[in-house]
Structure 1
Amino acid sequence: MINLNFRLAKVSDIPSLVDLINQAYRTQQSRSWTTEVEFVKGQRISQEQLKQQLELPNSVLLVAEINSSQIAACIGLTFQNNAVEIGTFCTDPNLQNMKVGRSVLEYAEQFALHKVPELDSAIMYVLNVRSELISYYERRGYTKTGNQEPYPLEADVGVPLVPIKLIEMKKDLK
């Protein structure tokens, strides 16, 4: 198990995080299984988009580091009412299949509950074409709610190559 140190993302992390996020979502490497390269083309996030995300008052971006220098993963938490939405979640493709993502998700859920003790659920949106990722989240306690949304073209997070929807998944945190 890799020893991870967690902290809040800083503005100075933006270039490294943009590289990590785009690499994890938009390239295919030997260990990578979270890529969307077959389904979506174009950049997943820009420096300006990430800067805007870091400035949101109800949102935090957690960074997981190895040896306080190498960013291994990140995960975003947006607090709304009694739920936390999980997004911008990725692990360095070279560190996938080593339980890093599982550790990051577990830490983020506990961080969210500590920050807002009255939270009752975590919500995330997953591409409907990513069956292996949906199964992964189901093993982590998330269930499909039945809610679907169209792919957010207006968010400028890439252009679908195939018909795609986002499916909502939810986990009870109580």
Structure 2
Amino acid sequence: MTINKLISPATEQDIPALDKLVNSAYRGESSKKGWTTEADLIDGLRTNEYGLREMLQTPNATILTYEEADKLIGCVYLEKKGADLYLGMLTVSPEAQTGGIGKQLMAAAERHATELHCTAITITVITIRHELIAWYERRGYQPTGEKIPFPNNPNIGVLKQPLEFMVMKKVLV
């Protein structure tokens, strides 16, 4: 039996499903089924429909979605910033993690960066997420040394402890 898989740009109609997917993968009890949870670090929602709509309306930005059998199970936010492509909100449903979907979305992001003539992809990762940092390093991302404070914004969560982001970069050849 063949399962239909599709990676494509998100549309306004995808926003409710994206909201549900992203929040289920990062926060709350459902996120603890996967290894990418932030539930022990941050309370509240990871995003909301308003924030997702803003992301979709950002110039030079897109959200790629990953569907299997017409069900949304992954996404990634991409935004061209100068010569770099910023990659954020890489999300895979907790039930589908470790199945290679994240790798497929990363490969799609690299193709997108190449199409836009970007020379590198940058990401931000919470500095204490060592397993996630190692995952990105295995895919060619290296720390730049730059650190960014985690925003104090209840619309994207309430910190349970002080957090900061590290910037990582992969140079494209």
**Quick check: 1:31–1:95 contact (8 Å CA) kept in 2?**
no
Equivalent residue number for residue 120 of structure 1 = 119
Out of 13, 33, 36, the position equivalent to 2:35 is 33
- Counterpart mapping for 1:15-164 below 5 A: 15-29=16-30, 31-67=33-69, 69-114=70-115, 116-117=116-117, 119-154=118-153, 156-164=155-163
Stretches of structure 2 lacking an aligned partner (at least 5 in a row): none
Q: Structure 1 104/133 Cα, relative in aligned 2: closer, same or farther at 3 Å?
A: same
Report the TM-score, using the length of structure 2 for normalisation. 0.93
**Quick check: 1:59–1:77 contact (8 Å CA) kept in 2?**
yes
**Quick check: 1:146–1:168 contact (8 Å CA) kept in 2?**
yes
1:131 maps to amino acid:
H
1:62 maps to amino acid:
L
Q: Tell me by how many angstroms 1:3 deviates.
A: 6.0
Equivalent residue number for residue 166 of structure 1 = 165
Report the TM-score, using the length of structure 1 for normalisation. 0.93
1:56 maps to amino acid:
T
2:39 maps to amino acid:
V
CA distance in 2, matches of 1:156, 1:167: 21
Q: Structure 1 153/3 Cα, relative in aligned 2: closer, same or farther at 3 Å?
A: farther
- Give me the CA root mean square deviation: 1.5
Q: Structure 1 155/51 Cα, relative in aligned 2: closer, same or farther at 3 Å?
A: farther
What per-residue deviation string (whole Å, max 9, x for no partner) do you get for residues 101-154 of structure 1? 11111111112211x12x110000000111000000000100011100100124
What per-residue deviation string (whole Å, max 9, x for no partner) do you get for residues 57-80 of structure 1? 11000001102x101100010101
Q: Percent identity?
A: 32
CA distance in 2, matches of 1:108, 1:155: 29
Q: Tell me by how many angstroms 1:27 deviates.
A: 3.0
CA distance in 2, matches of 1:87, 1:110: 16
Q: Tell me by how many angstroms 1:28 deviates.
A: 4.3
